[in-house]
Structure 1
Amino acid sequence: MQLAIRRFWSTSCFHLLKRSNIFIFVFFFLLFFFFFFSISNKPLRFNGLSFLVFSLTAQPQQQTSQIQKQVKMQVGHFPSMQVIARVIVDLFYIQNKLTLCLFLVGPKVVYVPPPPPEEESSIFSHYASGINFDKYDDILVDVSGSNPPKAIMTFDEAGLCESLRKNVTKSGYVKPTPVQKHGIPIISAGRDLMACAQTGSGKTAAFLLPILQRLMADGVAASKFSEVQEPEAIIVAPTRELINQIYLEARKFAYGTCVRPVVVYGGINTGYTIREVLKGCNVLCGTPGRLLDIIGRGKVGLSKLRYLVLDEADRMLDMGFEPDMRKLVGSPGMPSKEDRQTLMFSATYPEDIQRMAADFLKVDYIFLAVGVVGGACSDVEQTIIQVDQYSKRDQLLELLRSTGNERTMVFVETKRSADFIATFLCQEKMSTTSIHGDREQREREKALSDFRTGQCPVLVATSVAARGLDIEQVQHVVNFDLPSSIDEYVHRIGRTGRCGNIGRAVSFFNPESDTPLARSLVKVLSGAQQEVPKWLEEIAFSAHGTTGFNPRGKVFASTDTRKGGSFKTDEPPQASAPSPAAAADDEEWE
């Protein structure tokens, strides 16, 4: 860095002064000054190692000399132009070094989230079940595995302690949903579980209630400050927003008990996270990256771990997340799968993911399928509109104007599109916010808060908000860009029509890019008793998709793979892969 600065003053400045061109000199001096001033506003963590790496990675002087020679050939024999060009080359040289240094040391994360609410009314806030809640009783349930426990019909049969029963009542739970009726007794019996149920069907309570009940029944010690915490349960989810939501649910059910849940995820100050964990931790909720980090720092021990829960397990085990999950279960002190209870929940389970998940489960695990596996909720009215790429914005604007101030989530495939569409809608006088992986954690939480409260009734999002988020009164979902995966489509439209409430999902179908999804869309629509457009059936019939075409058949349904599965097709099975947006976002990492 010092060498680069000396070169600047000894060459560029010398030539400028020699030619007495004071105006050019002042111009580039100010340019140089403001360049450093703009960089100095960024909080840095400089240390000796950073400067050592910075020095060792400096480019050879010959490279800059070659650039200068090329510039000289272009500007010819105009001395003033040569001076200007050489100064510009020097500035780019210094900028390159400083950019590398900024990349190595990185900005310091200083954000500390606001404390969660302490008032009982806020902790137990909930929204009422919809008019179709009783239809859950008619959903078919398939339980596979040896000697599965008998299902419960009421929460009284769950054997919950007095504190948990009170908290369930305060939460507004009247009767268990199908996944809770079967999941609670299975977990209470100590069996490993792979559960697949429709979005918004109560999967979180299905694993939290029996875990908390068992911990309290076994007399778990009240958590207290310690330099190394040893939680009894770890819950993993793929996104920060989802894991924070699970934490708030755990905090709600554990209210008034000795069990202390803690949440860890990226984007917030590490010191703050560690301090919260060291205060005491019975149930640790986290994203994979931050869990591995805090375990690697020696702040969390795993010797007492009894429960490992993977929410949105299909995403946790796909090609982008599997290595980290295997690293987590292989961490020092982690009990083997025979010595812990492993639970997996999701709304979709491709067969290859099922086979992969078996590596984490005991041999006699139970497979629970509620409704059509991988199917969409029938409470969501699905509409597919054929539109070309350049007409999507006008179509979206017309659609949103017809819905008024009803809460609407608009899904796009890329982060750039999220900000672009949000800006476009704001220019059209529509209160809109956006959320994606490149936004700071503070901004992501503010966007969700504005959407929840109705301050911004339109939320433009990438896949970060597609999974698990339970937001009250989301009436509409718009797929501005259809995802490449039908599983992702099911998760997206599942943000509405939750707990028996009615919702609406509108998807823009661009034949130039969305044709490979046509067959699966027809199957999803048919399985949810939705109208299938004639033009979509024609495209699906001629398309090369990933599933066989049978518009009146089941929705790419698979059952327990140990039974051979029920999915039959003439095409070879293909590995599940994350959608491009999901793979690109990496939204849970720091």
Structure 2
Amino acid sequence: MDVDAEAARKKEKKEKKKRKREAEAALVASTEGGEEAAPEKKKKKRKLEEAVKDEIPAPAEPKKQKKSKSKQAEPSTSSSDAAPASEAEVTAFLAKNHISLDPPITPYLNFKVLPVPSSLSKPLMRFPAPTPIQSCAWPSALAGKDVVGIAETGSGKTLAFGVPALAKLLADPPKKDGVTTLVLAPTRELAMQTHDQLVDMGKQFGIGCVAVYGGAPKEGQIRMLRNMDKKKDGLTTRIIVGTPGRIQDLIDDGACELGAVNYLVLDEADRMLDAGFENAIRKIVGYCKPKEERQTMMFSATWPESIRRLAATFQRNPARVTVGSEDLTANSRVAQNLEVFDDDRDKDRRLLGHLRQILPGKDKPSEVRVLVFALYKPEASRVANTIQRAGFRVCALHGDMKQQQREAALAEFKTGKCNVMVATDVAARGLDIPGVEVVINYTFPLKVEDYVHRIGRTGRGGRSGKAITFFTGNGPYEKGLAGEYAKLLIDGGYDAEATKLSDVFPMTIKKKQHGAYGAFFRDDIQAPTDRKKIVF
């Protein structure tokens, strides 16, 4: 055992000596190339080590960056991959659409630049481009500023205030249940239409909207306000769209709480003032948050002194967007035709003649819809019966009908079950019914403003339309409106149609009357904003 171990040690020593000699010989050979060879090898070795060291984490860096980018993209907005419009594009856009802005802003000329979540902007992509009022109202509205929008009917004002309302709710979700957005409208039909659009946009986010208007039971409206169906539909009511009268009723009943409202919209503000709702509006707005803590949007077809005072009361340095003129103007995409009658009895024959030309056949299905306006409820019923006897599919809409009947008539007209609707002026404001190609004014309205809103039911959303107006001059009110109506036609470029009036009727323009104060109302006098103490 000892002999074997001793032999193994000797063998190991010999191998060590041999390796030592080989190493010395290699050292001598390396020194023949000079003393610089060793440092060069060391440098190469260090470079190789550094390269290897750098290469090891190199693939991981892009992964970390990609990961961080994906995290930032979760709340991504559709503006990330689109550049804003150039100065030349903006100038051309404003000039083409006759838009004035105060203060100047850069409009959003396409949906891709909207600074909103992609889930909110995606449904908008079905439209080719934003309308002028949308393009110019969104920059200020999405920045949280107050806006005054003045535009013709059918210009897309609902989305102009609806998209910022939902964006505000998504960016800063309320911590408690309750309404934070209030939209005031002059008529129940406009309230219902606005409600339907906001419901479609908000349901994917769990945001509920309730329509509050008279003529319908309060119970369903109160259930929505109190979120009693939240477990069933998963929606939390954040938005109220309604008329001032019913909203005030629910406030008085203790069923409507507006203390958390921080986004207020006055839609068709000029019509609400004309209808005498000013005091009700001021009272309702008083229940909301003060204007310093609230964003307020006002939309109107005109910009009279009364609307300016209202804006000064409710808003803080609003951005003003004017599409077209601040005065009353008709939709430029609607061709206006005038027919003057000596005898009222000729109107039925002419009406049926127009329907036979416009509609393809009495029983043939058609997407074309014709809206006929009458002045009074009995007249609307009589005209509808006349059209029905002629074999056309017709429905009526007027104030004597119950709310369920009115909703059913609108549904039939929208779906095409009937392609002719006879209505009074309750349908003239805000209704957006697809496929209305022709509006026929069987009887001229009591105000030229109502005429503008009547013919605005066609030519909506960038499409073209046609308006046919019967004018007899019977009664003092039609003769008194002939001058103002002729001026409107001339402003729209229909001088030949205006001549039909000037050849028969006086062209005196009647002084505009206020809805509550009559002809003696002065809208050119600044009303006092503070209370004055009277000392006797």
Tell me the CA shift for residue 356 of structure 1. 4.0
Corresponding letter in the other structure for 2:226: L
2:224 aligned with 1:259, yes or no?
Answer: no
Tell me the CA shift for residue 189 of structure 1. 2.4
> Which residue of structure 1 aligns with residue 500 of structure 2?
535
Structural mapping, 1:227-306, within 5 Å? 230-279=178-227, 280-306=236-262
Corresponding letter in the other structure for 2:471: F
**Counterpart Cα distance in 2 of 1:531 and 1:255:** 48
Tell me the CA shift for residue 197 of structure 1. 0.9
2:323 aligned with 1:365, yes or no?
Answer: no
Corresponding letter in the other structure for 2:242: G
What's the secondary structure of 2:261's corresponding residue?
coil
Q: In terms of Rg, which structure is larger?
A: 2
Could you give the per-residue CA deviations for residues 549-587 of structure 1, whole angstroms, max 9, x where no partner exists?
xxxxxxxxxxxxxxxxxxxxxxxx644439x9xxxxxxx
2:360 aligned with 1:422, yes or no?
Answer: no
Alignment counterpart, residue 293 of structure 2, candidates 339, 344, 349 = 339
2:269 aligned with 1:313, yes or no?
Answer: yes
8 Å CA contact retained: 1:347, 1:491: no
Corresponding letter in the other structure for 2:131: T
Corresponding letter in the other structure for 1:443: Q
- Give the percent of matched residue pairs that are identical in Structure 1 and Structure 2: 36
8 Å CA contact retained: 2:484, 2:507: no
Structural mapping, 1:9-24, within 5 Å? none
**Structure 2 spans left out of the alignment, 5+ residues:** 1-91, 228-235, 361-367, 519-536
**Structure 1 spans left out of the alignment, 5+ residues:** 1-133, 224-229, 547-572, 581-590
Relative to structure 2, which stretch is displaced further, 304-313 or 370-379? 370-379
2:461 aligned with 1:508, yes or no?
Answer: no
Relative to structure 2, which stretch is displaced further, 352-361 or 177-186? 352-361
Corresponding letter in the other structure for 1:154: N
Tell me the CA shift for residue 383 of structure 1. 0.4
Alignment counterpart, residue 122 of structure 2, candidates 148, 166, 172 = 166
Tell me the CA shift for residue 372 of structure 1. 2.6
Structural mapping, 1:504-583, within 5 Å? 504-513=466-475, 514-533=478-497, 534-539=499-504, 542-546=506-510, 574-577=512-515
- CA-atom RMSD in angstroms: 2.4
> Which residue of structure 1 aligns with residue 278 of structure 2?
322
> Which residue of structure 2 aligns with residue 212 of structure 1?
166
**Counterpart Cα distance in 2 of 1:431 and 1:137:** 43
Corresponding letter in the other structure for 1:197: A
What's the secondary structure of 1:210's corresponding residue?
helix
> Which residue of structure 1 aligns with residue 101 of structure 2?
143
Structural mapping, 1:485-496, within 5 Å? 485-496=447-458
8 Å CA contact retained: 2:269, 2:307: no
**Counterpart Cα distance in 1 of 2:170 and 2:262:** 13
**Counterpart Cα distance in 1 of 2:279 and 2:390:** 44
Tell me the CA shift for residue 363 of structure 1. 4.9
Alignment counterpart, residue 404 of structure 1, candidates 327, 336, 359 = 359
Corresponding letter in the other structure for 1:243: A
2:393 aligned with 1:393, yes or no?
Answer: no
8 Å CA contact retained: 1:348, 1:487: no
**Counterpart Cα distance in 1 of 2:93 and 2:140:** 23
Tell me the CA shift for residue 288 of structure 1. 1.3
Relative to structure 2, which stretch is displaced further, 354-363 or 412-421? 354-363
**Counterpart Cα distance in 1 of 2:409 and 2:296:** 34
8 Å CA contact retained: 1:233, 1:307: yes
Could you give the per-residue CA deviations for residues 126-184 of structure 1, whole angstroms, max 9, x where no partner exists?
xxxxxxxx99982110123xx45432222222201122022222xx1232111011111
8 Å CA contact retained: 2:372, 2:441: yes
Alignment counterpart, residue 353 of structure 1, candidates 296, 306, 320 = 306
**Counterpart Cα distance in 1 of 2:109 and 2:359:** 40
What's the secondary structure of 1:524's corresponding residue?
helix
**Counterpart Cα distance in 2 of 1:243 and 1:186:** 24
8 Å CA contact retained: 1:151, 1:185: yes
Could you give the per-residue CA deviations for residues 51-101 of structure 1, whole angstroms, max 9, x where no partner exists?
xxxxxxxxxxxxxxxxxxxxxxxxxxxxxxxxxxxxxxxxxxxxxxxxxxx
What's the secondary structure of 1:304's corresponding residue?
coil
What's the secondary structure of 2:153's corresponding residue?
coil
Corresponding letter in the other structure for 1:527: D
Structural mapping, 1:95-114, within 5 Å? none
> Which residue of structure 1 aligns with residue 419 of structure 2?
457
Tell me the CA shift for residue 190 of structure 1. 2.4
Tell me the CA shift for residue 539 of structure 1. 4.5
Corresponding letter in the other structure for 1:402: Q
8 Å CA contact retained: 1:152, 1:185: yes
What is the total number of aligned residue pairs between the two structures?
407
Distance 1:384 1:263, change over 3 A: same
Distance 1:505 1:135, change over 3 A: farther
Distance 1:450 1:342, change over 3 A: same
**Counterpart Cα distance in 1 of 2:306 and 2:469:** 27
Could you give the per-residue CA deviations for residues 21-66 of structure 1, whole angstroms, max 9, x where no partner exists?
xxxxxxxxxxxxxxxxxxxxxxxxxxxxxxxxxxxxxxxxxxxxxx
Structure 1 segments (4+ residues) deviating >4 Å: 134-137
**Counterpart Cα distance in 2 of 1:481 and 1:137:** 36
Tell me the CA shift for residue 252 of structure 1. 1.9
Corresponding letter in the other structure for 1:404: L
> Which residue of structure 2 aligns with residue 473 of structure 1?
435
Tell me the CA shift for residue 221 of structure 1. 4.4
What's the secondary structure of 1:266's corresponding residue?
coil
8 Å CA contact retained: 1:353, 1:576: no
Tell me the CA shift for residue 311 of structure 1. 1.0
8 Å CA contact retained: 2:266, 2:298: yes
8 Å CA contact retained: 1:522, 1:532: no
Corresponding letter in the other structure for 1:361: F
What's the secondary structure of 2:395's corresponding residue?
strand
Corresponding letter in the other structure for 1:577: G
Distance 1:257 1:210, change over 3 A: same
Question: So what's the TM-score if we normalise by structure 1?
Answer: 0.65
Question: So what's the TM-score if we normalise by structure 2?
Answer: 0.71
Could you give the per-residue CA deviations for residues 523-546 of structure 1, whole angstroms, max 9, x where no partner exists?
322333335332323356x33213
8 Å CA contact retained: 2:291, 2:316: no
Corresponding letter in the other structure for 1:471: I
